[in-house]
Structure 1
Amino acid sequence: MSHESLVSRLGRRVRFGIIGGGLDSVIGETHLLALRVDGLADIVAGAMSIDPQVADASAAALLIDPTRRYPTWQDMLASEPAREDGIEAVVVITPPQFHAEISAAFLEAGIHVLCEKPLTSTLEQAENLARVAEESEAMFTVTHCYTGYPMVREARELIRSGALGRITLIEGQFAAGDPGVLREPEDPTKRHWHFKPSSMGKAVVLGEVGSHAHNIVEYVTGQRVTEVSAQLTTVAERREIYDNAYLTLRFSGGAVGRLWASFVAAGNDHGLAFSIYGDEGALKWEQESPEYLWLYRPGQAATRIARALDSTSEQSRGATRIRPGHPEGYLMAFANIYRDFFSAVLLKLLGEDPGAALQALPTAQDGLSTMRLIDAAVRSHDQQVPVTFNTQPLTASLEN
């Protein structure tokens, strides 16, 4: 599939709006860089901050028409569907407690949604949003950006092919410890919302970083976590949330494993990694060395699998933009999420099946799986017992 040809065939780019991600956003600039890479969509509307002045300045910086610089997302939703040139998709880059209401409203209006992770603030919100996404004709994707890495997709395809045999052990971590997350500011008014219970309760560490570690191991193995035994801890002084989580897990395919999520792994710049073991070998990958995936066989020398080689899978090569030896990195992985999403929207607008573009993207069900884990982990910690929980797709769970 030629992504550029989709634009040529439609005769224009996707029109989309952005909610959050303004000049006061931590991740907004990253989104703006990533979504521009392939030139598949134009930002034509924005409600970019809860601060009206920041919202207007942010939209002005993107040259959005003054009549489409909205003070609230509700104003955008009220105006855009009535326009002949209205938006066809929206990107939601707000704190998680707002994801469910915003995303559901746009889905119900028939507007495609790409939403930041974690899916929502609570399990109840996640179930409601997953239900809306299931019933809507509009498409929904969660921006678990690390699934855009070619070597992550290569790991997924190798495991699907049976290269490791029966999967037995699954290890994932996102253990950060840079100065921005390691300590609380001296002035509590300068505390970022990431470190406030108001965003998603005390288990924020599982939403902000743990969600990536959980998603990526489920993504590459195809197994859902079914049981968790959790130890949640607050390490940093004056902190109101848990900032370290050790989870012992059981998976739907019979594997056991562990997940470590932390803000207080002092000295770690980033810390996302996974190790997947089968009865025939193992795969290991680290986000800070993303160009390479390591394959281990018992009694044999380790094999380094490099990005962009002809021997890698079609899925991995499809996520590759630059020839071997030239590092691509985080922004290109993030851009792959946007490329796949906007390609799916273009296919929809052309009246064609978007399935090929959607197949590698995280879904509402994936986001719901993480929220189920977080809910169970908190209950496990509070009760000091392992907690087993539902892993069925939402529609199946409602019917049973």
Structure 2
Amino acid sequence: MSSKIKLGILGGGGDSLIGVLHRVASSMYDRYEITGGVFNADLQESINFAEEIGIPTNRIYKDLDSLIAEEAKLPEEERMQVVSILTPNFLHFPMAKQLLENGFNVICEKPMTTTYEEAKILDETLKKSQTIFAVTYTYTGYPMVRQMREMIHKGEIGKVQKVDVQYYQGWINPIIHDSEKRANTWRLDPEKSGISCCVGDIGTHAFDMIEYVTGMEVKEILADLNFLYKDNVMDIDGTVLLRFSEFVKGVLRSSQIATGEENNFTVKIYGEKAGLKWEQENPNYLYLLQDGEPMKVLKPGHSYNSELSLNGTKLPPGHPEGIFDSMGNIYKGVAKAIKKEDYHPAEFPTLKDGKRGMNFIEKAIESHQKGNVWVKIDQ
């Protein structure tokens, strides 16, 4: 019998980009085999999709209840061991909770839930289930992001004194100016997306990235959000000031109306000795900035990089790696945890990261609604 981890998938059928990303990532290190799931709310659509991508249809289920009930009937060694949740936001919490309560390991898309309260409930559920839970803050899987993290943690740039993170997209610009389109987009529907669009979607990526690379926790935030139209209740742009301590501060800027931008995620961390800069659209370059020195460019695959960075590098120097590789590194880390192998704690984001992300989203909305005031992030 195959020693690969048996993976089930919820959502991600049809032409879903996130579905392709997760399927490719799971196959990257030959650690998983997709055994079934619920790709679509319509059973026949799920079956058709499974046939299209070459998965046996005997473990394609009509819904999550059926999946759990039928998998429980199988011998333990044949059951799905981990389930990836790729559905719209409002389904993340109920699905994740039900899976944890039934002993499954979980890989969940972000935002992990639609409320901070739900995140706290999941945290308690996970403690009881003692399984593995990963949240796919995808960009933490890039080798040069991991190199940035290790350099900061080892003190190579000195004490961090300034953080500047920008995540700009323009995809919602053609939608927001059309009243009919903005009324029929699930990202702008609080019942499906939660209380935030931009901060909840990409702002939470930026927030997690800041804490991931610096090892510091944000203590307080002040948010100023933009909605553009009075009938749109969901933020589509925002600037958030950050306080880590009295003398360490930063700014997080996220926008989905940055006209013409594609996926401009830029992370800049400045320490007392040096600065580091990374850009998602050019992910193989990590820029090292030092007073009185020419800018240095670090690239993946070289022996000067950290073990954590090299562990996530699949190709020789000079061969570009991208978002599929980044997600693949997260799946690889989860596989190690499920198999009880040694792994670095930075190899995949955990439920704690998802929980802090939800706290950040709610506090950003609260700060804005109270008139752009400082509010504390739970520690």
TM-score (norm 1): 0.88
1:307-337 CA-to-partner distances (Å, cap 9, x unmatched) read: 1111111111111010111111121111111
Q: Would the alpha carbon gap of residues 49 and 189 (structure 1) be closer, same or farther in structure 2, given more than 3 Å must change? A: farther
Q: Secondary structure at the match of 2:219?
A: strand
Partner of 2:81: 88
Partner of 2:66: 75
Q: Secondary structure at the match of 1:311?
A: coil
Check whether the contact 1:24–1:49 (CA below 8 A) recurs between aligned residues. no
1:332-382 CA-to-partner distances (Å, cap 9, x unmatched) read: 11111112212322x23xxxxx44165421010011111111111111111
Counterparts of 1:253 and 1:343, CA distance in 2: 39
Partner of 2:54: 63
Partner of 2:175: 183
Note the residue ranges of structure 1 that are not aligned, 5 or more in a row. 1-9, 349-353, 392-400
- Calculate percent identity across the aligned residue pairs: 33
- Would you say 1:310 and 2:298 are equivalent positions? no
After superposition, residues 185-334 of structure 1 pair within 5 angstroms as: 187-188=180-181, 191-235=184-228, 239-251=232-244, 255-334=248-327
Check whether the contact 1:183–1:237 (CA below 8 A) recurs between aligned residues. no
- Would you say 1:361 and 2:348 are equivalent positions? yes
Q: CA deviation at 1:22?
A: 0.8
Q: Number of residue pairs matched?
A: 375
Q: Which amino acid aligns with 2:146?
A: R
Counterparts of 1:190 and 1:60, CA distance in 2: 35
Q: Would the alpha carbon gap of residues 245 and 284 (structure 1) be closer, same or farther in structure 2, given more than 3 Å must change? A: same
Partner of 2:7: 16
Q: CA deviation at 1:198?
A: 1.7
Worse-matched range after superposition: 356-365 or 297-306 = 356-365
1:57-95 CA-to-partner distances (Å, cap 9, x unmatched) read: 222323333331111111101111221121111111111
Q: CA deviation at 1:224?
A: 1.4
Counterparts of 1:183 and 1:366, CA distance in 2: 31
Counterparts of 1:319 and 1:390, CA distance in 2: 32
Give the counterpart of 1:386 among 364, 374, 378: 374
Q: CA deviation at 1:183?
A: 2.7
Q: Which amino acid aligns with 1:73?
A: L
Worse-matched range after superposition: 249-258 or 369-378 = 249-258
Q: CA deviation at 1:27?
A: 1.5
Q: CA deviation at 1:300?
A: 1.5
Q: CA deviation at 1:301?
A: 1.3
- Would you say 1:374 and 2:361 are equivalent positions? yes
Check whether the contact 1:122–1:200 (CA below 8 A) recurs between aligned residues. no
Q: Secondary structure at the match of 2:34?
A: strand
Give the counterpart of 1:41 among 17, 23, 32: 32
Q: Secondary structure at the match of 2:314?
A: coil
Partner of 2:113: 120
Q: CA deviation at 1:245?
A: 0.9
After superposition, residues 325-344 of structure 1 pair within 5 angstroms as: 325-344=318-337
Q: Which amino acid aligns with 2:36?
A: A
Q: Which amino acid aligns with 1:219?
A: Y
Check whether the contact 1:149–1:290 (CA below 8 A) recurs between aligned residues. yes
Q: Would the alpha carbon gap of residues 109 and 153 (structure 1) be closer, same or farther in structure 2, given more than 3 Å must change? A: same
Let me know the Cα RMSD of the aligned residues: 2.1
Counterparts of 1:253 and 1:65, CA distance in 2: 57
Q: Which amino acid aligns with 2:85?
A: V
Counterparts of 1:252 and 1:372, CA distance in 2: 18
TM-score (norm 2): 0.93
Check whether the contact 2:90–2:194 (CA below 8 A) recurs between aligned residues. no
Q: Would the alpha carbon gap of residues 11 and 197 (structure 1) be closer, same or farther in structure 2, given more than 3 Å must change? A: closer
Q: Secondary structure at the match of 1:211?
A: helix
Q: Secondary structure at the match of 1:17?
A: strand
Check whether the contact 1:45–1:69 (CA below 8 A) recurs between aligned residues. yes
Q: CA deviation at 1:187?
A: 4.5
Worse-matched range after superposition: 30-39 or 83-92 = 30-39
Counterparts of 1:181 and 1:367, CA distance in 2: 27
